[in-house]
A and B are shown apart, each in its own frame.
Chain A
C-alpha cells in the first residue's frame, strides 16, 4: 500500500525535474492518461444510475454558481464599480448596468492619486525581493547540498530552526535593526528598499526547497564535470543552475507574490509616502479621495496579479499545492 505522503512533494522529484519543461509537460500527459483508467469516489457503474447522475448534475450546478459568484463575482463587481459614479455604487451596488459610465475615474486614479508612482514602487520592491531571494537560496542551497562542508549540518539546523520561530517575534527587533543597522556611521535603512529586500531574502523555506531539489540531482553529472576540470563556480553556473529551472520558477512565484502582498513590514520601514508600495498607500489614500476613484485605484492594483495568474495558471496552482505542504 502506498503511504500517505503529501503528494505535492512528488512534484519536486529530480528525474522529472531534471528534464526541465519537458518533465512538466510529460507529467501532465501522464496525468491525463491516468484520468481515463483512474477513478475517484464515484465508480463508472454508479455514474450510470439515474439518481447519481442527477446528484452529479446538481453538484456541477452548485459548483459552477458558487465558484462564479465567490471567485469571479467580486472581481467583476470591482471592474464595474471602477467606471461607475459614486452615487450609483452607493445606492444600487448590484445594479447590472450603471446609470452613467465614468471613464474618467481610471485616469484620475492613475494620475491624481499617483497610483502610477506606487505601482512602480511595488514593481521595484517585488523585483528586488525576487533577485535577493533567488541569489541567497541558490548559493546557500548549492553550498549545503553539493559542496557540503563539514559544518553543513550545523548550518542546516540553524536555518531550519528559524522556521519554528513565528514572524511576529522578529517584528520589533528587526525594525530596530533597520532603524539603527550595524553599519559604521549614523545611517538608517528606513525608506531604503534594502530594508524590505534583505529581510525577505532571509527565507528558510526557499533554501529548504532549493536544497531538496539539488539533493535529488544526479551526483554522477557533478563528478563528471569535476573530472573535466570544472571548479565550484563553473559547476554552479553551467551545470546546477541550468538543471534547476523548475524549482527556480517555484521560488520566483513565491517571492513575487509575497512581495506584492506584504503590508505590515513595508508600512513600518517605508514611512515616506513617495517610496511606499500600493498595499501601503491604498488604505492611506482611502480617506482623502472619492469612492469611485478609490475603487478604480483598487481595480488597477488588482490587474497585474490577476493577469499574471491567468498567464501562468499552471505554475501558480502547482506552487500553491507545494506551498501548503511545506511552509510554516
Chain B
C-alpha cells in the first residue's frame, strides 16, 4: 500500500523520471504515517540483511582496522600500540619470503593457467558435435571438493619412482622428480594442481563469451582473405578483450589469497619454499605458541587488502562499463 495514496498534484505515472525518489509524495515526519506508508514493513524485510551484515561483515571490517593498531589476545584487554604491529610484520624476515612466494605462485599460475582455458575454449567452440560432453568433462575437476582434490594430488605427487606422476615420466624416459619434497619443485607442483582445479570454470566462461562474437566480423575478415589464424588473432581475441581482462584481475585477486594448496600440500615447506602471505597471516593468528597475535595478523591482512581492494575496484569499474 505504499504508493496508492498519491496526491493528485503529482506528475502522472507515464511521465518518465526517477521512479522512487521524485514520485514519492511529500510525507510529514510522524511515526504513524511512516508505519502506514510501509516504512515498518520495509524495515522488517531489511532486518535479516542488517543483522547479518552488521555483525558479520560491516563490524568486522571496521574492527580489523582498529585491531591492527592494538595488541589483542583473548586474555588481556586490548591496548593501543599505534603502528607497532605494522612495524613488527614488516621486520619479520619471513614476510619477504612470503611475498616473493605469493608473487611466484601468482606468476606461474598466470603463465600456465591463463592462456590454457582460452586455447581450450576456442578449440572447443569450433567442434561441431559433443560440445556439451566436452564442457562437462572440462568442468568435472571444478566439481571435486578442493580438499579432496589436493589430498588426491598429494598421492599423485608421491616422490618415489613408483609414484603416479613419476611412473608416467618414466614412460617417456624422464627420471623421477621430487615434486613436493624439494624447494625447487614444490611451488610448480602446487601451481599444476591449482591450474587443473580452476581451468574448467574459466573454460565455461570463455565459451559463453565466444558466443557473443558477432559472426559478421568473421565474414568481413574472410572477404579480406584472412586465414583461420588471422581471424582468431584479429577478430576473436580483440572481441574477448573485456572478459580476458576481467578474468586476469580475478585470477590475480584469487591467487594472491592462496591458502588451501600450501597449507594442505606442504604446510609452507620444504624450507619455507611455499609460505604464502595468507599462510603467514594464519600462523600469526592461529599457530602461535605464545597465543594468537591477532594484531599482527590483522595488520598484514589490512596491507594485503588495500592492494587487493584497488584491483577489485578496477574490476568493478570495468564490469560496470562493459555490462551497461
List the interface of chain A (C-beta within 8 A of B).
Answer: 1-9, 31, 38-43, 46, 52, 56, 59-60, 62-64, 67-68, 70-72, 74-75, 77-78, 81, 89-94, 132, 135-136, 139-140, 142-144, 147-150, 152, 155, 158-159, 162-177, 179-182, 198-199, 201-202, 204, 207, 219, 223, 226-227, 229, 231-233, 236, 260-261, 263-264, 268, 278-280, 282-283, 286, 291, 294-295, 298, 301-302, 305-306, 308-310, 313, 316-317, 320-321, 323-328
Contact = CB atoms under 8 A, between A and B. Distances in A.
Interface in B108-132: 120, 122-127, 130, 132
B147 A263 contact: yes
A41 B242 contact: no
Contacts of B155: 81, 89, 93, 291, 295
Given A164-B312, A291-B155, A147 B42 contact: yes
Contacts of B39: 149
A56 B123 CA distance: 9
Given A71-B137, A143-B45, A42 B151 contact: no
Given A136-B49, A166-B309, A172 B126 contact: no
Interface stretch (B90-98, B183-191, B294-302): B294-302
Contacts of A323: 201
Given A46-B228, A170-B60, A279-B146, 11 more contacts: A59-B127, A63-B120, A71-B138, A139-B45, A162-B61, A166-B253, A175-B285, A207-B49, A226-B3, A313-B132, A328-B253
Contact of B140 (A63, A75, A89, A286): A75
B62 to A, nearest CB: 8
Interface of B: 1-4, 19-21, 24, 38-39, 41-42, 45-49, 52-53, 55-61, 63-64, 67, 72, 74, 120, 122-127, 130, 132, 134-149, 151-153, 155-156, 158, 160, 162-164, 167-168, 196, 200-202, 204-205, 207-212, 214-215, 218-219, 222, 228, 231-232, 235-236, 239-243, 246-247, 250, 253, 257, 259-260, 263-264, 278, 281-282, 285-286, 294, 297-298, 301-302, 304-305, 308-309, 312-313, 315-316, 319, 322-323
A179 B285 CA distance: 14
A204 B58 CA distance: 11
Contacts of A91: 162
A169 B302 contact: yes
Contacts of A180: 74
B219 to A, nearest CB: 8
